[in-house]
Structure 1
Amino acid sequence: MEIAIDLEIAVGTVADRADMERRLDEAVAIAMTWATQEGRRGILVTRHDRDSFTVALSDAVPFGLTREHQNW
């Protein structure tokens, strides 16, 4: 049985760079857990503006990889 999870984690307003990195690391770790269980999609980290990101499972990213995308 194949399991597909629609996962998108919003990382909003951050206090500083250290806070941004910590929150992104946490979101990627969660996404990595789901990606590993699913075994077919990678992780896409999208920057929407200076301090707003999403972390999502993506068909556009091969399993086992994490890619970054600038969308601003």
Structure 2
Amino acid sequence: MFNATECIEIQVKSRHALDGRLEAAVKDLQETAMRSRTCGILITRHQPGHYTAELSDQVPFGITRELCR
């Protein structure tokens, strides 16, 4: 089972850095998601350069969804 409060915070200053950090976060979360097979991954853009990546039961397993706030 996964820790529902686990959230990976990403803060970057360049698009190049963002791509790498998001890719690493998604890879880490995919490994956790494979164990439970009940949640997908939600990437949220809070403001330019500030994102979070987390497992969410609001996203179907096997899907990564993006949300802008």
TM-score, scaled to structure 1: 0.89
> Which runs of no fewer than 5 residues in structure 1 stay unpaired?
none
Name the structure with the higher strand share. Answer: 1
CA–CA distance in 2 between the matches of 1:16 and 1:57? 25
> Which runs of no fewer than 5 residues in structure 2 stay unpaired?
none
Give percent identity, aligned residues only. Answer: 37
CA–CA distance in 1 between the matches of 2:35 and 2:3? 10
- Displacement of 1:5 in angstroms is 1.9
Asked which structure has the greater CA Rg, the reply is 1
What corresponds to 1:37 in structure 2? 35
What corresponds to 1:9 in structure 2? 8
Contact preservation (8 Å) 1:5, 1:34: no
Contact preservation (8 Å) 1:42, 1:64: yes
> Please, what is the CA RMSD of the aligned residues?
0.9
What corresponds to 2:44 in structure 1? 46
CA–CA distance in 2 between the matches of 1:66 and 1:10? 16
Amino acid at match of 1:50: P
Aligned residues: 68
Amino acid at match of 1:11: I
- Runs of 4+ that moved beyond 4 A: none
